[in-house]
Amino acid sequence: MNLVPLVDAADRGELILVNGGMCHYHSRKDGVVVIRELLVVPERRSHGIGKSLVTEVRRRHPSNLIRAKCPTDWSANKFWDHIGFTQVPTDKTSGEDDTNNVIVWEQVGKLLSVELIYCASGNPVFAHMANDAGWLYGARLPDWFDTNIPLHFADQDWKCPNRAKYIEALATHRPVMATVLDIERREQLDEVMTWAEEASQYVSRVVVIPKVGGVIEEIPETIGAASVVLGYSVPTSYGGTDVPLSEFKRRPCHLLGGSPQAQLRLFNHLNVTSVDGGMLQQQAIQCRYWSPDKGEKGHWQQLRDTPGGNDVTENVHHECFRKSLINIRQAWVDKVSWMEGPQSTHPDTPPKPKRLR
């Protein structure tokens, strides 16, 4: 077997490996992304692995045309149809290579410009539900997470940091982005930058989290081969920051934790490129889901209090989680569309922080 193409693809960042499967693709100069090999081992099929691999390709190339080819007599053609690809005439792709006896599948789409990340370890059912709903997957390392889904975001335990184990986990799993030690005191800046430099060997984006004012101007925009994203810890009872929003200016920001409504408000004032959180899981376990409409008890509503809610008698937690995934994503679609439209304006009053630790 000639492994050279796979080695070259790995060097270009065009090889995705998960537990039980792999995807080898190529991004051409004309903007077309060609999936060359998609493989799921027999015993892991029908577990959503193939779909999650294709979803990861789409997330890496949100605006590109994605193309795949499959022999006409292969049952895998049902897979491409099932996940939303469209069969196209082979003459449209003539001149690339031999298209005889193959079916060409294509998909065009543009995802939400803000990355929504479900970040929670240890619950594979919720992880797959989030992945199917178009969310990215994140986990705290080195905790266990579902390796059947590509890991996009990694966080470390800021209360009990273990640098050696965390960096070792980054080297093993290679997420797209990862946080490093929080800057809680100015004298920590140099230490945090050494964390960031070490992490940059294994990720494309390093998230540096300033929790003290006056240090952002000293944080570089790139480190090693990775870009630097500023992390804003949304104030909750668990943690948060009181650094003035004005200090972040227009630097790319990742929102850590907090409620969906707080994150949406912060989009008015920060250059938000991604958000993460596990609050929707915590609420789902209590049979609550998030609604964009604020009710008597806030945005989190009991499923039994909504029309048809009492009809759900099995897997109530799953139904609440599913509804939150859909509602939160749609709220972001509406928010981004409005803010990026020709009539968009940014409110002048920043959101008031809630409790700080």
What distance lies between CA 73 and its chain's CA centroid? 35
Any idea what the Cα angle at residue 252 is, between residues 185 and 13, rounded to 5°?
110
Residue-level pLDDT at 91:
58
Give the CA dihedral 267, 270, 274, 278, nearest 10 degrees: -70
User: What global pTM score does this model have?
Assistant: 0.70
| CB within 8 Å of 41: residues ≥ 6 apart | 20, 21
Tokens for 31, please give them. Answer: 């903007």
**How is domain 4-107 classified at the architecture level of CATH?**
3-Layer(aba) Sandwich (3.40)
Tokens for 226, please give them. Answer: 């990775």
Residue-level pLDDT at 344:
38
d(C-alpha 53, C-alpha 164), whole Å: 29
Domain with CATH 3.20.20 in the chain: 115-339
Residue-level pLDDT at 98:
53
| CB within 8 Å of 267: residues ≥ 6 apart | 114, 335, 336, 339
Please give the DSSP secondary-structure letter assigned to residue 176: S
Tokens for 339, please give them. Answer: 């803010």
Find the distance separating the first CA and the last CA of the chain, reported in whole Å: 56
Residue-level pLDDT at 343:
38
Ranges assigned E (strand) in the chain: 15-18, 21-27, 32-40, 65-71, 86-88, 102-107, 115-119, 136-140, 153-155, 177-179, 205-208, 222-223, 226-233, 252-256, 271-277, 288-295, 298-302
> Which among 71, 53, 60 has a CA at the least distance from the CA of 33?
60
Cα radius of gyration rounded to whole Å, the chain: 22
> Which among 346, 325, 323 has a CA at the least distance from the CA of 278?
325
d(C-alpha 145, C-alpha 123), whole Å: 8
Domain with CATH 3.40.630.30 in the chain: 4-107
d(C-alpha 45, C-alpha 37), whole Å: 15
Residue-level pLDDT at 109:
57
Any idea what the Cα angle at residue 38 is, between residues 155 and 10, rounded to 5°?
55
- In order of 8, 10, 27, 329, the CA distances from 3 in angstroms are 9, 11, 19, 40
| CB within 8 Å of 252: residues ≥ 6 apart | 227, 229, 230, 271, 273
**CB 29 within 8 Å of CB 12:** no
d(C-alpha 215, C-alpha 126), whole Å: 37
Domain 115-339 classification at class level: alpha beta
User: Token pair 């000639």 is at which residue?
Assistant: 2
> Which among 141, 105, 109, 137 has a CA at the least distance from the CA of 16?
137
> Which among 98, 95, 76, 97 has a CA at the least distance from the CA of 87?
76
pLDDT less than 70: residues of the chain: 1, 62-63, 90-100, 109-112, 237-239, 338-357
